[in-house]
Structure 1
Amino acid sequence: MAHANKVYKVRNGKTTKAFTWRVKYKAPEGHVPEWLSESGFPTKKLAEDWGNEQERLIREGTWIDPAKQAVSFGEFARTFMASRKKRGRTVGTRWDKLELHILPRWDGVPLRKISWFDVDTWQQTMGIEDVSRGHCVSLMSSIMTAAVDAGYLTVNPLFGRRRTKDTSGDAAMPKAPKIKRDGGPRPEDAVLLAERLGPAVGIHVLTTAFGGLRWGEGLGLHRDNTLLTRRQPWGSGEFVCPVLRVVEEYAEYTERDADGRKTGYVVRLEATKNDGSTRDIDVPPFLAQLLRHHLADWPHPRVFCTPSGRPWLRGNWSRMFRPACDGRPEREKRQGVAHRAAWEPILPGLDMRALRALHDTMQAELGVKEPLAFEAAGHRRPGIKRHYQKPTAAMRAERLDGLEETFQRAMGNVGLETLWGRVNLQKSLRSSVS
């Protein structure tokens, strides 16, 4: 049981008659030291009542060690980051949010003094996109939940709370879309872009638009995992089609040590994003034909890479890709500089993510069934249905027929019979039944 004793004040090195009360209470089993104390109480009763309350909290399992109560958010955030082993790009993104937005405001604030009101007020003042504000608050909440689990807090005040969004003035106005066209990109845009960029790069564009690979998945695709064969029972025979096997991806990020210090910029192979991302993607006949030509010509292990065999950096890719989408002026020939023809815009703002989204849009337009649509996109289907409904051979054949027809129609709409002047794209038979 807690007990109190007097603590006399000292002035000029001499003990005075003035005093306060100090309480001692028994710490949890295994704690060092065995007894803890707190000083500064004006009466014995207040001291003992406070100590008895601490022992009650210890018995209930809701007591917080005083040494932990003083820990700041920044100190625990660094502990959290060092203890969570995530993919390299995920770690880099989290550190960027902490350093740029969260720690400048919350680094030295004790965990126990952080309230939802203060966090919600702060996030409304951030000069970044609303979705990024949400990511910052979500990361803070994850850290605070970990603090509860580690015994630094009894409750996370951010858990389950809905952010207040600014709806005044310009904040209520809809944001201008990156691609200023209703309906977004079309298959025709992907075909025109691929033709303009040439076979080595254009095949990457078409594979993204008609296969739905993420940027990093495309860079990580190895020729040993390209045009493998899927065999699945279908009626009295067998469904057979070529597939792309996605098992790894390239990530580009700033690497950091356990304390968050930057150690260098890396482009590194990593495992896929999650278990739904590791998948085999069925390839329509036209794309399989183009990929066979590409593999025959391409000397490098990675199917989509720079001419030197290295993975594309986003900056280098953008310098080539953006003019092809947005257009460019003519450049006259002069000493040391070759002539460059002007390019009319195909679709300003188009990027590789939008081409991946085009694939999902085409699947919806074609009525691809949900089990297969989620699989092809590398998304984990929510709900109990993912355990009951599986992609069938009929679903796969229907999807491939639809993508093949969409491509052939797009080629006709833009007036092309071949791509890059060398590949004859006669409409071929879809996946076979053997």
Structure 2
Amino acid sequence: MANTKGKRRTFGAVRKLPSGRYQARYPGPDGVMRPAPHTFATSRDADDWLAEKQTEIKKGEWIDPDASAVNFEAYALRWVTERKLAPTSEELYRRLLRLHVLPTFGESDLDQITAPRVRSWRSERLDATGAPTTVAKAYRLLKAIMETAVDDELIRRNPCRIRGAGKESAPERPVATVAQVDALADAMGPRWRLMVYLAAYGPARPEEQAALRRRDVDLENVGVWIRTAEPELTTGRRAPGDTKSAAGRRYLALPEFMRKDLTRHLKWFAEKEPDGLVFVGEKGAPFRRSTFGRKWRRARAKVGLPDDFRFYDLRHTGHTLTTRSGATLKDTMVRAGQSTERAALIYQHSDHERQKEVAAGLDRMVKAARAEPAPVSEENQSGTDLARGL
């Protein structure tokens, strides 16, 4: 039978058990007596543990051990739901949880996820996937969820403390030449030609082009208004909504050589009603990523670009060419629809007139590049001639 006499302390109580070990109990801020989660070899060890608990309570750092017994999977899924994310972000977060985080931590309580477990999990994911960028995204997500748990006072400290683990170090993306952009536009065919040029010389994101309506095209000034975005989810469903950021809502002044492409596309391929889509498939439905992707891969192979050259890399090409044409960093950011918190950029400005000047610089650069003699294969001769005649 346990010794019930107990040894009174100024804070908490310690008693010796029949096993010879010691049990400690203490009053929480709510007055409820709580036992230590384990016993101690000596009364001194029990006293030291009680002193730590008393210090935590005095500093306001005490965490209710019952509150921290919250299942991670339930908490994480609720965390995603409460964020009110854009459809593409929610899809990404749920996929990262399902594939990379929950298999390891799903059955654990929040307080059972420790720094050593996080380190082991990250190392295992890097070895198993060989995808450091994906693992970095998963780590950032786990860290954000656990940081909210700290704010909710469910755990005392975030266990995600690996320096640099959330940083992505993607390789520098390739840049296409003007001739390669023309060749890609030719290879994609008349219906998709304009998409290539808008990506390279806009530069417009794929989801922004998917949302373009006839009313967004300004033929007189040669430009387009980016007002919304319609990314396609992995289910095939379109998710109409806002642009990636407030800076994404913008006017794109385009090079003068694109006037004929804009005019021809509206006449031949865009839906006829004023609010009709600019880009639709051969059967008149909004274009699908899968169908477009097959055309893109064939065109890329025909032009001789590497397999890892993505349609999205045309935006990087556009950024590079815009800078080479004399645009400032702020000009490039405005065209790309990117925002920044750098104080040095707050007082810089790039209005519509400046964007027209940037587009004119692009126009001169592209025309000059097209005027340079270059070896052209017979099968691409007609397409290149068409491009240079615009």
Same-fold status (TM-score > 0.5): yes
- The C-alpha deviation readout for 1:100-137, integer Å capped at 9, x for no partner, is 11111222333334343432343233232111121111
- Equivalent in the alignment of 1:137: 139
Question: Match of 1:114, as an amino acid?
Answer: I
Deviation at 1:53, TM superposition (A): 5.4
1:310 aligns with 2:307: no
- The C-alpha deviation readout for 1:144-173, integer Å capped at 9, x for no partner, is 1111111111221324723499xxxxxxxx
- Equivalent in the alignment of 1:296: 267
CA distance in structure 2 between the partners assigned to 1:185 and 1:386 by the alignment: 28
User: Percent of counterpart pairs with the same letter?
Assistant: 23
For the aligned residue pairs, the C-alpha RMSD in angstroms reads 3.7
- Equivalent in the alignment of 1:353: 312
CA distance in structure 2 between the partners assigned to 1:22 and 1:320 by the alignment: 70
CA distance in structure 2 between the partners assigned to 1:242 and 1:218 by the alignment: 16
CA distance in structure 1 between the partners assigned to 2:14 and 2:117 by the alignment: 39
2:216 paired residue among 203, 222, 225: 225
1:211 paired residue among 202, 213, 219: 202
Question: Match of 2:232, as an amino acid?
Answer: E
TM-score of the superposed pair, with normalisation by structure 2: 0.79
Alpha-carbon contact 2:222-2:258 (below 8 Å) kept: no
Structure 1 portions without partners, runs of 5+: 10-17, 29-33, 166-173, 230-240, 255-263, 328-344, 427-434
Listed as ranges, the matches of 1:56-75 within 5 Å are 56-75=55-74
**Alignment CA distance shift 1:131-1:219 (3 Å):** same
The total of aligned residue pairs comes to 365
Q: Which has the higher helix share?
A: 2
- The C-alpha deviation readout for 1:155-200, integer Å capped at 9, x for no partner, is 21324723499xxxxxxxx99x898xxx631121111221232222
- Equivalent in the alignment of 2:300: 325
CA distance in structure 2 between the partners assigned to 1:117 and 1:298 by the alignment: 58
- The C-alpha deviation readout for 1:353-390, integer Å capped at 9, x for no partner, is 11111101101221211111111011113411222010
Alpha-carbon contact 2:219-2:262 (below 8 Å) kept: no
Question: Match of 1:251, as an amino acid?
Answer: P
Structure 2 portions without partners, runs of 5+: 1-9
Listed as ranges, the matches of 1:340-379 within 5 Å are 345-349=303-307, 350-379=309-338
**Alignment CA distance shift 1:8-1:358 (3 Å):** closer
CA distance in structure 2 between the partners assigned to 1:138 and 1:164 by the alignment: 5
CA distance in structure 2 between the partners assigned to 1:62 and 1:228 by the alignment: 63
CA distance in structure 1 between the partners assigned to 2:192 and 2:353 by the alignment: 32
CA distance in structure 2 between the partners assigned to 1:119 and 1:20 by the alignment: 32
Q: Secondary structure at the match of 2:56?
A: helix
Deviation at 1:287, TM superposition (A): 1.5
CA distance in structure 2 between the partners assigned to 1:26 and 1:117 by the alignment: 28
CA distance in structure 2 between the partners assigned to 1:381 and 1:401 by the alignment: 25
Alpha-carbon contact 1:286-1:425 (below 8 Å) kept: no
- Equivalent in the alignment of 1:37: 34
2:346 paired residue among 375, 387, 410: 387
CA distance in structure 1 between the partners assigned to 2:279 and 2:106 by the alignment: 42
Q: Secondary structure at the match of 1:37?
A: strand
Question: Match of 1:245, as an amino acid?
Answer: W
Alpha-carbon contact 1:25-1:52 (below 8 Å) kept: no
Alpha-carbon contact 1:124-1:164 (below 8 Å) kept: no
- Equivalent in the alignment of 1:278: 249
CA distance in structure 2 between the partners assigned to 1:313 and 1:424 by the alignment: 30
Question: Match of 1:314, as an amino acid?
Answer: R
